[in-house]
């Protein structure tokens, strides 16, 4: 087993009047040569957007983009013709493919938007752009693995990569195993809330652990915790 610990305090920071972002990997003005990507996972941004503020129309291409709303809401508009409000508990996915334009604005006049946005390199370039948005009930991740996005789709959102986005709410002292889907897969464990041990490594709130060359993860909750796994190809 190989692993790399990513403490929350070592993430990049972009603090503005309307936006508070933490970057797990090099992004925008923040560059760390040791944190470019983890396998096919290129971006994990932890964003807080002030009421009535957000990102105007901007382009993306050749990337799988997954947005996980933690609280509040976000209005989305794109060049594919979609207009939607993404609310807490919902997950949005876009295959940017040959190219899209979109905007993301906090549609509330009183409440902050809190979200995780993740980018994954696609399996192949220049795919046809697509959009999906789904609600995932909290009960579906209570002491069980809830698959938010997978290569197969079905009850989860389909992504164009051998990537699995999996979330679980854990009670104190609860233990759980997670089995990887192939020899060349790795897992980026991100603790949304709480604290856990992953194969013996302690992680606190917003800490992360990249693990590869392993068949299974063994996770123990040290307190009530909300855990996100991103399983991705390492090559």
User: What global pTM score does this model have?
Assistant: 0.97
Instruction: Place domain 12-135 in its CATH homologous superfamily.
Output: Jelly Rolls (2.60.120.10)
Residues 6+ apart with CB under 8 A from 123: 160, 161, 162
What is the C-alpha to C-alpha distance for residues 155 and 209, in angstroms, rounded to an integer? Answer: 27
Residues 192-216: pLDDT tens digits? 999 999 999 999 999 999 999 999 9
Structure confidence at residue 19 (pLDDT): 98
**How far apart, in whole angstroms, are the C-alpha atoms of residue 154 and residue 142?**
20
pLDDT tens digits, one per residue of 29-77: 999 999 999 999 999 999 999 999 999 999 999 999 999 999 999 999 9
Under CATH, which number does the domain 138-233 receive? 2.60.120.10
CATH 2.60.120.10 location in the chain: 12-135, 138-233
């Amino acid at each position: 087993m190989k692993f790399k610990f990513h403490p929350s305090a070592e993430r990049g920071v972009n603090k503005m009047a309307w936006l508070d972002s933490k970057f797990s990997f090099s992004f925008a003005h923040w560059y760390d040569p040791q944190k470019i990507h983890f396998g096919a996972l290129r971006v994990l941004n932890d964003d807080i957007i002030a009421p009535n503020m957000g990102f105007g129309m901007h382009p993306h291409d050749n990337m799988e983009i997954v947005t996980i709303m933690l609280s509040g809401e976000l209005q989305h508009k794109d060049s594919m013709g979609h207009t939607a409000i993404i609310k807490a508990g919902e997950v949005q996915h876009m295959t940017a493919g040959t190219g899209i334009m979109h905007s993301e604005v906090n549609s509330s006049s009183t409440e902050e938007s809190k979200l995780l946005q993740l980018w994954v390199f696609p399996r192949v370039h220049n795919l046809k752009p697509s959009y999906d948005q789904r609600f995932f009930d909290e009960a579906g991740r209570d002491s069980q693995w809830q698959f938010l996005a997978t290569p197969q789709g079905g009850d989860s959102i389909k992504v164009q990569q051998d990537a699995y986005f999996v979330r679980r709410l854990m009670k104190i002292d609860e233990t759980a195993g997670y089995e990887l889907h192939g020899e060349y897969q790795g897992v980026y464990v991100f603790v949304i809330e709480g604290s856990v041990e992953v194969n013996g490594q302690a992680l606190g709130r917003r800490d992360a652990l990249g693990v590869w060359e392993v068949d299974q993860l063994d996770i123990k909750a040290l307190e009530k915790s909300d855990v996100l796994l991103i399983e991705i190809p390492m090559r």
